Structure 1
Amino acid sequence: MSAWWNFLRHPLWAACTLVLALVVRVQRTRRWDPRTCPVNLRGKTAIVTGANTGIGFQIALDLARRGARVILACRSLERGRAARDQIQVQTGNHQVLLRILDLASLHSIREFAQKIHEEEPELHLLVNNAGVSGMPKNMSEDGFDLTFAINHLGPFYLTNLLLDLLKCGAPSRIVILSSSSHSRGQVDFRHFRGEHLVHKSDSVYCHTKLHNILWSNELARRLQGTGVSVNSVHPGVVMTEVMRYHSFRLQLIFKTLGFFFFKTPEEGAVAPLFCAVSEEMEGVSGKYIDSDLNMTLPSTIARDSALGQDGYEYCLKLTSNL
């Protein structure tokens, strides 16, 4: 044991590990590169939630470069304005707009959707990007577990309120950011109210990401023949602010490892953008796309169509009563 420990502590071992990590980082390859995709979005309108930072910002930036009218749906007015201004300067596209949206509040979602209906005759792309991880147990103003409200019920409600505009803009697309962590999730509808919900090892995040895929599949089934496609996507492990609610020690480990092995926000935006704009995804619906841009099967429970229908009806009931 001591011999192995002495070997691992040797400077040469540390140097080799560092070189290997740098090689892994440099040699990342892409099967599809947004920068070489010629798709033009002039005359199209897109909404990106959580667009003031991270993956959402990079998605909005790419869509603006393509000439789209991009609506940044953000909770923070100050950070939203900064993101809007930066995107306008970098792209020269002044059809980048900020609208305030708090996915933890059904009232805020209704106000946002009403404003969109008043301003936009049709909608061509909705990217449900915003999400949180590692939040302590807390309840929303509507009586739901806060992580469930932000990661699933809020996006569900927002999407339903905008479906008419998406149908008017068909062919249109809905992209739902999930995660490979859904495979560790469970379905218990009592979780929505914070009941029998253990906030441990970010289990709640895994539950919500499982619900995302079940919802995506069921929504795709219900929208067949409308020209609106729906797909869920795992962007990969990405260096974003999603870890901000975790402990300082865990954040430090994440950032240290992340520099070498995890994706940057720009890289993390590739898979969602592939679903949102690529010609390969035209007319494709009800699929789960992994971070390598492959159509892959999610976990067995995520493919349970009966459970997807039950979850959809349950969320409809929750949002229609408020």
Structure 2
Amino acid sequence: MRVRDLAETLDNAPAGARLLPQAVAQLPRLLHAEQACAYLVRVEEGRRELEFFHGEAMPAGLGPAFRKWLEKAPRNFDSYDPADPDPRQRNVALRSEDLLELTSGRTPPVVRSFLPRFALSESDVLRVLICEGSSLLAWVGVFRARKFSRGEARRFDALVPALQRRLALEQKLADGERLAAETGAALEGVPAPAFLVRKGPTIVHANAAGRALLEEDRAAALDGLRRPAHAARLFGETQLVILEARPRDPSALVATAAVRWFLTPRQAQVLRLLARGHSNRALSAALGCAESTVELHVSALLDKADCESRAQLVARLWSGG
């Protein structure tokens, strides 16, 4: 495989594919090296954590040992800052001698105290800090006994744009997945049916009220998602869609629930208003009592219905659970 072939593979692979390990496996042959690896160190609240490590022909156990070493390593453990890489080091292939020039000849602790354990301290390194703006996406590099040439550094440089595009895409997808999970959790507090959807519509997540609606009338729910009255784009092709509250009267369901859950008349009244989407303030006005009193009624309802949230309570009511 040539550099151009690997670059085309990185650019043309499906969005969900994770290609960094495959790219690392090709680097020794493409750059006439003996070993290769890629890793990412994240800095969270002053602590450094190894997010991933991919190696090709690296000494056994190096990844786990590096993770442990980082726990007690000095802040400037290497010739770059993972929280804010030097602009001169971003997305450019640098050899060991280039790094010495940039850092005024200082040998970093990782070379002095960690690499000797794996007989790598004398190896020459050719590496790139793949970045998206000032954010580090990965350290990617190769090792060998003899020095790398400027021509080999230029060959590595030719691969960097494709690596950067690929890792930036994978990072955006990972961020989107995390955001979807966080947003999905937040939607549980929405009393109306709420969904995260993509084209189709494909449902990524539904809150409790949304799941209840799907069970009760899936066709109506999907029809509402195809022509939503309230929609907002969150990330990529994912939209937040909140459907109108059910127009039908919940009184019959509330009457059944009152018997099943042993509700007082006041609690049944509160449940009926909750089913119509009333907030605490609206409940307070409708019932002529303080919001703190409303909260007591709602807490009692949650206990009797064995629910953890209002959304779960409303969904259970509408589903006849």
TM norm structure 1: 0.24
- Select the structure with the greater relative contact order (CA < 8 A; seq sep ≥ 6): 1
Rg bigger for which structure?
2
Structure with greater proportional strand content: 2
TM norm structure 2: 0.24
